[in-house]
Amino acid sequence: MNLDALLDHPAFAGAPPRDLDAYARRAYAQLAVVNEAVGGAGPLLDDPRTMSAVLDWAAVVDPSLFAAAAIHYAVVLTSIKELGRPEESLESAIASLDRLDAVGAILITEIGHGNNHISLQTQAVYEPETRTFRLHTPTPGARKLMASIALPGVAKIGTVYADLVVDGRSCGTFAFVVPLRDAAGLRPGVLVEPLEGSVPVALDYSVTSFDGVRVPYDHWLRDTASITSDGRFEDPLGNKDRRLVRSLALSAWASLAGAVGLASASRAAAAIALRYAATRSTMGRLSPDRPVLDYRTQQHALYGALASAHAVTALVDKAIEAFLAKPWEVPPDETAITFSPWVAAHRTHALAKAAATELCAEITAECRRRTGAQGVLSINRIIAYEGLAQGYNSAGGDNLLILLDAGRSMAETLQPCAVPDTVTGDLADPDVRLGLLRVQEATLHAELAASVRQAGDAGLSPFDAWNPHLPKAAELARVHQRRMVAEAFRALVAERQDEALAAAERLYGLRDLHRGRAWLLERGVLSPAEALSVADLADKAVDDVAAHAQALLDGLGLPERRLGAWFLSA
């Protein structure tokens, strides 16, 4: 499938428009071209690898196209496929989404309740007389935030998350498939306020509320739940938290879809910045008309970004393979919901998304800074990739809440990771660096678990027991993330036996160790001499990456035409 051939289509021609509505309309037109080229949504839903490849391509071409595609395929249609029990009415909606007669939208976050999704206020009230539901927004704080449905003339079908109410009783959070607007305008009872102003990833965002919107029974993504003919709600999962986690089962693929886009944006930013640096000269008086990439500061920054781009790609590829091996499996240790449901739905995938966000933000910001004034021009795309990272701090699960939940669940339900008998040796050795990460994680894990256990034994409330230790919970989760990345990169290098990738792994790992060496020094894990040596080792690793720079650039798999940055062809 040669998606790059689509770049010849008029929908992809020219610079992106400045007007927000025009930009969103262009993204949906591009999505229609992609959908036709791949044969509709069906092939993507049947083959997650193909979906991943399409999302990877879209993120490089335009993060707005990626966002529209990720919501449409990886969130809306995936959740319908996984949780829906289609009859005639829902089959019609699925067909519209498959043909892209309507674009999918997700409506979950509420303006008055942050990004945790634990206690949604939007209600879907069951009416036994008609065997349908009525969607209501009971308060201004229950309005849905950031749904991309404001653009006139573009039909939208949304998955709306709401509290199901049967016979006056709350039965838990479910998703409902709701036609929101067609070519003629908004559907009855759907109220939309466009969100004005600039956003990191341009789409037609809105604040949305519902006034008695009728929803057919089969548009309820009920999974294994049901309402009997005499109006009795039944759910074999047994409680609301389990149902919330299951209703967000899509989060596994939604998190991974976000991670795919973030890894793609990271690679694209590194490729653009390095290709530009290779042609850019500086008139600094140390050596007039010298290529800027000859300067050590530029080498550290951009070769470091290149190594990190390969690292985040290794992490995301490993997460996708794990998902494909056991799709939709919720690991048995991930059950408790504290701050948000994402870790309970799947801790590893949620942490992979959060780690990819942080790495993408770091890579794109560095590449923007190192390309000077050109870096802030939208036609050169780096700032758009940086915007994608900004957006995914909250999209697909708030990253801070993911870290807090992950740290807490690790301390309460898991044993500390195994540590090697010794971690002495050459710090340029990836196995030594992995050993250091394991020591740090295991120590933080044991200390956090002991502190919280002591607080519980002292009779403190859950809030008073945990609140002083939340920074430590986030720190534990971050170190665990670092280990996830390091192990994924180590496994890739071991599999490929590639000298260029080994050089990138070494530079990435030493830069990571350099940032984290203070804790190791404070705890006596590293000696002062060892801690001082890390900077020199990283400096040498820059030379190793420089020697393999072209191979590593080629390994990003990004032809210049797909990158499309103006200054590469100006």
Domain ranges of the chain: 3-99, 103-227, 251-568
**d(Cα 16, Cα 22) in Å, to the nearest integer?**
9
135 vs 89: CA distance, rounded Å: 17
Residue 334: what pLDDT? Answer: 44
Nearest to 365 by CA among 357, 108, 480: 357
Q: Give the CA-trace dihedral at 27, 193, 168, 79, to 10 degrees.
A: 10
SS3 of residue 70 by DSSP: helix
What is the distance between the alpha carbons of residues 96 and 413, in angstroms, rounded to a whole number?
A: 44
Residues 6+ apart with CB under 8 A from 475: 407, 444
- Tell me the residue type at 28: Y
CB atoms within 10 A of CB 402: 26
Is residue 520 within 8 A of residue 475, CB to CB? The reply is no
What kind and span of H or E run contains 218? none
pTM above 0.85, yes or no: yes
Written as six digits, the tokens of 224 are 């294994």
Beta strand 103-107 with 156-166 is parallel
Give me the CATH code for the 251-568 domain, please. 1.20.140.10
Local structure of residue 323 (DSSP, 8 states) = H
Alpha-carbon gap, residue 53 to 263, rounded angstroms: 12
pLDDT for 196 equals: 82
Give the side-chain half-sphere CA count within 13 A for 311.
31
Please give the chain's pLDDT, 570 residues, in tens.
Answer: 789 999 999 999 888 888 888 999 999 999 999 999 999 999 999 998 999 999 999 999 999 999 999 999 999 999 998 888 888 889 999 999 999 999 999 999 999 876 667 788 999 999 999 999 999 999 999 999 989 999 999 999 999 999 999 999 999 999 999 999 998 999 999 999 999 877 788 899 999 999 999 999 999 999 889 999 999 999 998 888 878 877 776 667 788 899 999 999 999 999 999 999 988 888 778 888 788 898 999 999 999 999 999 999 999 999 999 888 876 555 554 456 777 777 777 888 899 999 999 999 999 999 999 999 888 888 889 999 999 999 999 888 889 999 999 999 999 888 888 888 777 789 999 999 999 999 999 999 999 999 999 998 999 999 999 999 999 999 999 999 999 999 999 999 999 999 999 999 999 999 999 999 999 999 999 999 999 999 999 999 999 999 999 999 999 999 988 988 777 775
Under a CB-based contact definition with an 8 Å cutoff, are residues 334 and 347 in contact? yes
Nearest to 348 by CA among 366, 361, 365, 329: 329
Distance between CA atoms of residues 449 and 79, nearest Å: 36
pLDDT at residue 330 in the model: 52
Question: Which superfamily, per CATH, for 103-227?
Answer: Butyryl-CoA Dehydrogenase, subunit A, domain 2 (2.40.110.10)
Contact 507, 542 (CB under 8 A): yes
CB atoms within 10 A of CB 300: 18
Question: The tokens of 473 are what?
Answer: 């919970």
| Coil vs helix vs strand at 562 | helix
DSSP state of 188: T
pLDDT of residue 333: 43
Q: How many residues are present in the chain?
A: 570
Sign of dihedral through CA atoms 82, 36, 180, 261? positive
